[in-house]
Amino acid sequence: MNQFAKITAIEYVLPVQTLSNEDLARDFPEWNVDKIFSKTGINKRQVVSVDECASDLAFNACEKLLNAIELERSAIDFIILCTQSPDYFLPATACILQDRLGLSTQCGAFDYNQGCSGFIYGLGLAKGLVETGQAKNVLLVTAEAYSKYIHPADKSVRTLFGDAAAATLIQAVAEGPCIDRFRYGTDGSGAKNLIVPIGGSRNPAALNVNPELYTDDSGNARTDANLYMNGAEIFEFSMTRIPQLFASLFDESFTVENVDLFAFHQANKFMLDSLRRRIKLPAEKFIAEFEHCGNTVSSSIPIALKESMLKGVLTEGKTVVGVGFGVGYSWAGCVIKW
């Protein structure tokens, strides 16, 4: 008998420590609270403490989900973790999470490093596991602590990114498809535009103990051990590739009019408003849920979906188009039947 993959639950957590626009305005006097909000659409973002990692957020999100549903932990037969801030280069953080959560040793587990398109990629992976009969209950976890990579004097990224984790349960159901029409794209020539240059095998941290601090033309200070983002190039990539990706999701049998909600990666207000106008989507169908948490990378779409559920906007039977894009360059889209 055929089985189909369906999202049946989502939970998310944010760190306790808050970085508000007021905090940022004190650090960057040339940017007041109103200017920060007008540029980003973000009021606050949460960041991990010194001794807190993305895996801690992931654990808390999974615990929240597992405590909210009627499913034994032994029934989880796969855990997939999307993170670019793992505990270690090896082993995979998903393996550590499996043990910490008390999941079965018969459970598969792996990490993947994908960033802002990661949730859509994860749904595609989960669909493959479920619909080929390899799994019935997949725990898709997205968790990032980008704040650990951000230099405190770099307002270009410090104002945007927040730390978070989300846990999404994908289960086998008898009728579907419920997650479908996947489209993917990659352009590695843009890798240099959103990157932490030091820390991997190419430029090991051990050989770069005291990286040079430099200041760019906009007054942002960082070292090559910190996150660097070329905002202009990322914007240009998004305005070019994402409308093309979006158009590829539709045909004569499935049109934009068939969609109830659009859940794009929650990058920032300027980016989302620009994309919505470029693609000509109605504002009332376009989810924007980042004011309270910032750009949470791979967790931004599941957070947006959960907030829409809590507000009664996303209900059973609705059709959602999900679109992720960013670091890599990487982009992906799919259709989700709720």
The reported pLDDT for the residue numbered 270 is: 96
Catalytic residue among 137, 151, 220, 265, which? 265
Q: Which two tokens stand for residue 262?
A: 């659009």
The reported pLDDT for the residue numbered 312 is: 97
Within 13 Å and on the Cβ side, how many CA atoms surround 49?
Answer: 6
Phi, psi of 86 (to 5 degrees): -70, 165
Q: What is the mean pLDDT of residues 82-100?
A: 97
Q: Convert the pLDDT of each residue in 254-279 to its tens digit.
A: 999 999 999 999 999 999 999 999 99
Q: Convert the pLDDT of each residue in 160-182 to its tens digit.
A: 999 999 999 999 999 999 999 99
What does CATH list as the number for 4-176? 3.40.47.10
Asked whether residue 77 carries a pLDDT value surpassing 80, the answer given is yes
Which residue has 């995979």 as its token pair?
A: 92
Q: Residue 133: which of 5, 228, 324, 245 has the closest Cα?
A: 5
Q: Convert the pLDDT of each residue in 46-65 to its tens digit.
A: 999 999 999 999 999 999 99
| Whether residue 116 lies in the annotated active site | yes
Please list, in sequence order, all residues whose beta carbon lies within 8 angstroms of the beta carbon of residue 21, skipping any fewer than 6 positions away: 33, 36, 37, 42, 43, 44
Q: What is the mean pLDDT of residues 297-308?
A: 98
> For residue 117, how many other CB atoms are within 10 A of its CB?
29
Q: Is 278 exposed, middle or buried (0-12, 13-18, 19+ CB in 10 A)?
A: middle
Q: Convert the pLDDT of each residue in 242-259 to its tens digit.
A: 999 999 999 999 999 999
Asked whether residue 31 carries a pLDDT value surpassing 90, the answer given is no
Share of the chain above pLDDT 70, in %: 100
Q: Is the peptide bond before 91 cis (omega within 30 degrees of 0)?
A: yes
Distance CA 68, CA 88 (A): 29
| Whether residue 295 lies in the annotated active site | yes
Distance CA 41, CA 311 (A): 19
The reported pLDDT for the residue numbered 1 is: 64
Catalytic residue among 21, 60, 137, 295, which? 295
Catalytic residue among 116, 178, 293, 334, which? 116
In terms of CATH, what superfamily is 180-337? Answer: Thiolase/Chalcone synthase (3.40.47.10)
Q: Residue 62: which of 27, 10, 122 has the closest Cα?
A: 10
Instruction: Give the residue range(s) of CATH 3.40.47.10 domains in the chain.
Output: 4-176, 180-337
Task: Grade residue 6 by pLDDT with cuts at 50, 70 and 90.
Answer: very high
